[in-house]
Amino acid sequence: MLLFTSDLDRTLIYSQRMMSNFPPATATIVVEQRDGEVISMMTEDTIALLQQVYAHTIFVPVTTRALYQYERIHLIKELYPTFAITSNGGTILEKGCPNEDWAKLLRKRIADTSIPQADMLRHFQTIRSDAWLQRSYYMDELFYVHHVDTEVLHEEEYQAIVQEFAVHGWHVLLQGKKLYVMPKVLTKEAAIEYIQQFCMYDVHIAAGDSIMDYGMLAMADIGYTPYHGDLKDKQPSVLANTTYSAHAGEAFTKDLLEAVLQLIIKV
């Protein structure tokens, strides 16, 4: 049996902009909407392949999305995976319900390793600037996502913020125009490590496109990352277990899922 932990956005599902940038080979199907607006899509091919993968693996969706954002993705919810991980590891869903034991364990780890959220926020207020900070969101009472103007927030200032918060147990990461501020122990790999004790499997496969997926790929037996992702550009070191794909967009997803199906035959 295979354990397949996969990021969602830009790994399995794509925005309309990404689909336009990397035109798919088959028709697209909407897999997420918000107030009637199309948010994310897959293709006929990749949906069919994912359904096959789901039927023959322990498929665990892993995302930095907040729980309510994950629950909008109706295709994934309809698969009803035994485990799903949201909030960058902050919430583990077991048969659709939050695992309270993990929630308690994680919050104790956060309390033991970082300054309280209120103290962090007060500290952030002393260094933030209205010139680059546009809006902020507090996700699942775990971490912040700040939308910033990257033309104003310069690299030197960003690196100073990273170093400033690191000593307080908080990780700061700029992804595109989103500045994430989260406890250092809030990671996808920590949540995966927790659920592994409840899974019987022979090989762990992981897939993801961003530096937030680095730890998840590093802990897996086999990893996959797309050409369009930023992991390859920001990673601390090359992962020997990971295929750095030449494919981008839906072509990567199709290639990934076909590779997983081939591995199922071998195990």
Here the CATH number for the domain that contains residue 99 is: 3.40.50.1000
Same domain, 191 and 67: yes
Q: How far apart are CA 98 and CA 15, in angstroms?
A: 27
Whether 126 is in a domain gets the answer yes
Residue that terminates a domain, selected from 183, 203, 220: 183
Same domain, 89 and 204: yes
pLDDT in tens, 59-86: 999 999 999 999 999 999 999 999 999 9
* Pick from 76, 78, 67, 170: nearest CA to 127: 170
pTM of the model: 0.96
- Cβ density class 47-60: b for 16+ within 10 Å, e for less: bebbeebeebbbbb
Does residue 162 surpass a pLDDT of 80?
Answer: yes
The boundaries of the domain holding residue 225 are 2-105+186-266
Does residue 46 surpass a pLDDT of 90?
Answer: yes
Q: How far apart are CA 234 and CA 214, in angstroms?
A: 9
Please tell me whether residue 175 adopts helix, strand or coil conformation: strand
Whether 110 is in a domain gets the answer no
Whether 209 is in a domain gets the answer yes
In total, how many domains does the chain have?
Answer: 2
Same domain, 13 and 28: yes
Longest Cα–Cα distance of the chain, Å, equals: 56
Residue that terminates a domain, selected from 183, 203, 236: 183
Same domain, 24 and 81: yes
Residue written as tokens 């908080």?
170
Same domain, 17 and 57: yes
Exposure of 58 in the CB half-sphere (CA atoms within 13 A): 20
Whether 202 is in a domain gets the answer yes
Give the helix/strand (H/E) hosting 155.
helix 155-166
Same domain, 213 and 250: yes
Same domain, 149 and 23: no
- Work out the pLDDT band at 266, boundaries 50, 70, 90: confident
Whether 201 is in a domain gets the answer yes
Does residue 211 surpass a pLDDT of 90?
Answer: yes
Whether 72 is in a domain gets the answer yes
Whether 34 is in a domain gets the answer yes
Q: How far apart are CA 177 and CA 155, in angstroms?
A: 13
Whether 254 is in a domain gets the answer yes
Same domain, 13 and 97: yes
pLDDT in tens, 87-130: 999 999 999 999 999 999 999 999 999 999 999 999 999 999 99
Residue written as tokens 């080979």?
25
Same domain, 32 and 98: yes
- From residue 166, how far is each of 26, 93, 169, 215, 245 by CA, in Å? 45, 29, 5, 18, 32
Q: How far apart are CA 150 and CA 164, in angstroms?
A: 19
Same domain, 131 and 249: no
DSSP output for 11-68: TTBB-HHHHHHS--SS-EEEEEEETTEEEEEEEHHHHHHHHHHHHHEEEEEB-SS-HH
Q: How far apart are CA 65 and CA 87, in angstroms?
A: 5
Lowest mean pLDDT among 14-18, 52-56, 230-234: 230-234
Q: What's the mean pLDDT when you consider all of the chain? A: 97
- From residue 98, how far is each of 82, 182, 237 by CA, in Å? 11, 20, 34
Residue that terminates a domain, selected from 161, 183, 205: 183
Structure tokens at 216: 């998840």
What number is the average pLDDT over the span 42-54? Answer: 98
Q: How far apart are CA 90 and CA 185, in angstroms?
A: 10
Same domain, 85 and 154: no
The predicted pLDDT at position 156 comes to: 94
The predicted pLDDT at position 267 comes to: 77
Same domain, 75 and 11: yes
